[in-house]
A and B are shown apart, each in its own frame.
Chain A
């Protein structure tokens, strides 16, 4: 415990301490200027990392938020006479507001369209800053005076300490945020937005919050930027800066505070690197050697595709050769950044910190913090009365895909407390029906009622919020997250702390309680010992069970299991049956889609049989198996030659 604290916090404390003593050790204003800029860019990149690292999207608006924050802060001083803190708040607010405004349209989009939206916003901001000359001074530039802090003017060391303190505060707040449910939600929605919505964690709202947070930090950095240089012009915040920021994030390492810091250091040192030819050549030679080493190793071990191994070598080679041939490396600045960024994106996608983390983990072997004991199951899944009243009612449900009538007039009533089987041959519409119920698709026609009121349609998130949880036929786990986190993301009713408390790190009790509850569910599914294993590294059977544990974390009234036994080995199937029985005992209503007839027979109170999108039989499992229409649906032709024994439908 102490070892862990020392190693992780220790490094941070040492770095902070070292940095704060610099002004006392030297009076070199140039060095101080660089370090001040380092702190500012650190804040800026931490903000960028939220969208690029955690949400995994290419955000091209960040430089604009820097600019908008800078102008807002600068103008608040000259026009409104704000002091330092108010001015910085103005910068932060500008980032937050514009980021929020952009977030709403932009975040409904994926990848390329998102990048385009942010790019346009960026260009529009710069244009606006240029054109509003009366306010911003346009291309001529704007002089900014550095405001006083509580009446005292700040000299260079003073300003440096201010930036450093702010960096430290932002660092701590972000660390606390990312260790909380927010951080989990961010990672989950990157791995599987569908599952995130289906588990009642709003993908959209979290993305907006993440983006707004990042842009707020950008705005704050902007304020500091303005008071650092005391002169602003719109041209500083153009595309080229954005690319440099991306270079910093990618090279430093995504999803990492230290990565943002390392990246910021590189950005700050970059101009020096380019102006000194010798330094540049040394640097590019080192880069080439690294590329050769990594690429060669990857090729020999056949772990990397040839292109990925060779391309960085070519790029770095170009840098080395080009560096010795060109007259002036400054002229080729953009090209140099491009080659560096290319090598890193292709050859070292995890960045320097990601790379280092692997080795550091091997060297230091820090045991993860201990987990609390699992909560009692009754606390997590409160027993509910199963009164047999209709819980879910479907009337004339239809879902068409072009010419294909996947569901064509489905009537079904699921009673509270029952296990309701839904079976039928392949393509009979079972999965489509369940996808409509859970909100993945809106129905083409028909009514859906939950406890008598209309069920939300076409929204996984809203259906999850009214007490329906599901698993997926094709697994939709949060692959990169540990098993425990997969369940914790979905937990209902535990996360109540407001954001400020989380940022201050005061929500730890809540985290422990969430861990205990999640462990209880993992225990139910026999996965307690694999709580810390990333979901993608679990065996197939374990993954299937994990999806069930995760769905249970919703504490649902209605649980939909979509072919839970698919691909399971025999002993796992028996285990599954036991687990479903235990869930049933808690009073949870279950809809079970399955092909394993023995599972259906053993578990289901009622079975609905679908074929061609319509119900062809309904009743107790035993009855339904004997129904000639069902046999025909499964076997293809009326089975005149059936032996006397009760026939089992094929699948």
Chain B
């Protein structure tokens, strides 16, 4: 077997895996502050991607489309928090699981009807001509994915560490009651986390759409992998998601090549179930203490 082909598969796959990692990173943001995640996040990615496509089709230049799409993601994220999550959190129930699933379902239906059921190409000014790096062909588009992922994660980490609001974010994640006593509104912080998570999801959509096309079904394709990455790494594992994402992406690519394209999904799902069986808190996660 040609080593270069394997390397090619691995690298391309791993770069896709970064997108899963990015979405998983978004999950961590909301989980940290509220112990909740958006089960409809895949639809959020997809809707942001479609919206960005619409912006492009209106003739807006790419460098304006990106912030437009990101803003849309923020708005959707805030909507999810208000409509699907807040009530359940206030009642200390897990109703948000079902409610965010419902959000996703509605989003899917809306997308189907507004933009149609077919997959559409997503134009981008970034080139898809492969560059040869160490004998492996990588397109600038793929490189842009990596740059985009690390840029977003980096910016958010910077925000968390260097700004006071970011520290407040960490405080709410550590001890919500104590944070309130400092004058930090937990509700506002949770809103922030959902807004950021939406932005992250939108970024993932914008990055991946030129490669995979945009369509209603892209939601489910991405989301299960992102879940797998989030859970396997651990919902509080920080950058562990990047490692797991790279790993999963590569694994998928190889599985698809060697076993069959229909089995592409399998590694992620199997990995998820295994990880949950063996290390429910994730490979890099931290266990928690129960207080009685």
* A and B: interacting chains: yes
Residue ranges of A at the interface with B (Cβ–Cβ < 8 Å): 56, 58, 102, 104-106, 108-109, 111-113, 115-117, 119-121, 123-124, 127-128, 130-131, 194, 239, 243, 246, 250, 305, 307-308, 311, 326, 331-339, 341-342, 345-346, 349, 401, 431, 435, 440-441, 472-474, 476
Query: Once the chains are docked, how many angstroms separate the CA of A342 from the CA of B109?
Result: 14
Report Cα–Cα, A474/B39, bound state, in Å. 33
Indicate if B90 sits at the interface (CB-CB under 8 A).
yes
A332 touches B97 (CB 8 A): no
B83 and A311 within 8 A (CB): yes
- Within the assembled complex, what's the spacing in Å between the Cα atoms of A394 and B103? 54
Residues from chain A with a CB closer than 8 A to the CB of B39 are 112, 115
Q: Is the CB of A305 within 8 A of B87?
A: yes
Q: Is the CB of A124 within 8 A of B269?
A: yes
- In the bound complex, residues from chain A placing their C-beta under 8 Å from that of B265 are 123-124, 127
List 8 A-B pairs, Cβ < 8 Å.
A58-B97, A106-B273, A116-B276, A246-B98, A311-B87, A335-B108, A440-B292, A472-B292
Report whether B231 and A113 are in contact in the complex, using a CB–CB cutoff of 8 Å.
yes
Within 8 A of A (CB), among B99-150: 99, 101-103, 105-106, 108-110, 112-113
- Does A435 contact B292, Cβ atoms closer than 8 Å? yes
Residues of A within 8 A of B102 (CB): 243, 338, 341-342, 345
The answer to whether B160 has its CB under 8 Å from any CB of chain A is: no
CB-based nearest A residue for B224 = A123
List 16 other contacts, CB 8 Å, given A116-B231, A338-B106, A338-B109. A102-B273, A108-B276, A116-B276, A117-B272, A117-B273, A117-B276, A127-B262, A131-B262, A243-B101, A305-B87, A332-B109, A334-B112, A335-B110, A338-B102, A345-B98, A346-B87
- In the bound complex, do residue A308 and residue B263 qualify as a contact, i.e. CB atoms below 8 Å apart? no
CB distance from B77 to the nearest CB of A (A): 17
Q: How far is the CB of B259 from chain A (nearest CB, A)?
A: 9
Q: How many Å from the CB of B267 to the closest CB on chain A?
A: 10
Taking CB atoms, residues of chain A closer than 8 Å to B235 are: 113
Nearest-neighbour CB distance to chain B for A249, whole angstroms, equals 10
Q: How many A-B residue pairs have CB under 8 A?
A: 135
- What separation, in Å, do the CA atoms of A131 and B228 have in the docked complex? 21
| B262 engages A130 (CB within 8 Å) | yes
- Distance in angstroms between the alpha carbons of A334 and B103 in the assembled complex: 11
Q: How distant is A254 from chain B, measured CB to nearest CB, in Å?
A: 11
Known pairs A105-B276, A243-B105, A345-B98; A124 contacts B290 (CB<8 A): no
Asked if B94 and A111 sit within 8 Å, CB to CB, the answer is yes
- Indicate which residue in A58, A124, A476 contacts B94 across the interface (CB closer than 8 Å): A58
Asked whether, in the complex, the Cβ of B97 is within 8 Å of the Cβ of A111, the reply is yes
Residues of B255-292 whose CB lies within 8 A of A: 260, 262-263, 265-266, 268-270, 272-274, 276-278, 280, 289-290, 292
A112 with B95, Cβ < 8 A, contacts A119-B227, A124-B270 known: no
Q: Interface range on chain B: under 10, 10 to 19, 20 to 34, or 35 or more?
A: 35 or more
A440 touches B109 (CB 8 A): no
- Given A58-B98, A246-B98, A335-B105, do A131 and B276 touch, yes or no (CB 8 Å)? no
C-alpha spacing A113/B265, complex, angstroms: 19
The reply to whether A120 and B224 contact each other, CB–CB distance below 8 Å, is: yes
Count chain B CB atoms within 10 A of each CB in A113, A311, A342, A435 and give the residue with the most. A113
Chain A residues, CB < 8 A from B260: 131
Contact assessment for B98 and A120 in the assembled complex, using a CB-CB cutoff below 8 Å:
no
In the assembled complex, the Cα of A415 lies from the Cα of B108 at a distance in Å of 66
Nearest chain-B residue to A117 (Cβ)? B276
Q: Do B276 and A112 touch (CB < 8 A)? A: no
A113-B231, A117-B273, A401-B289 given; A333·B262 CB < 8 A? no
A345 touching B272 in the complex, CB below 8 Å, given contacts A112-B36, A119-B227, A308-B87: no
* Most chain A CB inside 10 Å of its own CB: which residue of B35, B110, B276: B276
Which B residues are CB-close (under 8 A) to A105?
273-274, 276-278, 280
Given the complex of chains A and B, what is the CA–CA distance between A47 and B266 in angstroms? 27
How far apart are the CA atoms of A435 and B292 in the complex, in Å? 8
Residue among A106, A120, A131 making CB contact with B227, cutoff 8 Å: A120
Residue of A nearest to B106 (CB): A338
The complex places the Cα of A367 from the Cα of B87 at a distance, in Å, of 37
Smallest CB separation, A22 vs chain B (Å): 34
> In whole Å, how far is B58's beta carbon from the nearest beta carbon of chain A?
24
In this complex, what residue of B is CB-closest to A52?
B98
Q: In the complex, are the beta carbons of B98 and A476 less than 8 A apart?
A: no
Asked if B269 and A123 sit within 8 Å, CB to CB, the answer is yes
| Candidates A108, A472, A474; contact of B280 at CB < 8 Å | A108
Contact B220 A239 (CB under 8 A): yes
B contact residues around A332 at 8 Å (CB)? 109, 113
Taking a contact as CB atoms under 8 Å apart, the answer to whether B266 and A331 are in contact is no
B37 contacts the other chain (Cβ, under 8 Å)? yes
Q: Given A116-B227, A305-B90, A333-B109, are A194 and B276 also a contact pair (CB < 8 Å)?
A: no
Output the nearest chain A residue to B227 by Cβ-Cβ distance.
Answer: A116
Residues in B whose Cβ lies below 8 Å from that of A338: 102-103, 105-106, 109
What separation, in Å, do the CA atoms of A243 and B102 have in the docked complex? 8
CB-defined contacts of B110 to chain A, threshold 8 Å: 335
Q: Cβ of B290: which chain A residues have Cβ within 8 Å of it?
A: 194, 440
Q: A111-B94, A124-B270 are in contact. Are A331 and B112 (CB under 8 A)?
A: yes
Interface centre among A246, A250, A338, A341 (most CB of B within 10 A): A338
Which residues of chain A have C-beta atoms less than 8 A from B98's C-beta? 58, 246, 250, 341, 345
Complex CA distance for A311 and B108, rounded to whole angstroms: 20
Closest to B291 in A: A474
Q: Could you tell me if B106 and A339 are in contact, using CB atoms closer than 8 angstroms?
A: yes
| A194 to B: closest C-beta gap in Å | 6
Interface contact B109-A345, CB-CB below 8 Å: no
Task: Select the residue from B83, B95, B273 with max chain A CB neighbours within 10 A.
Answer: B273
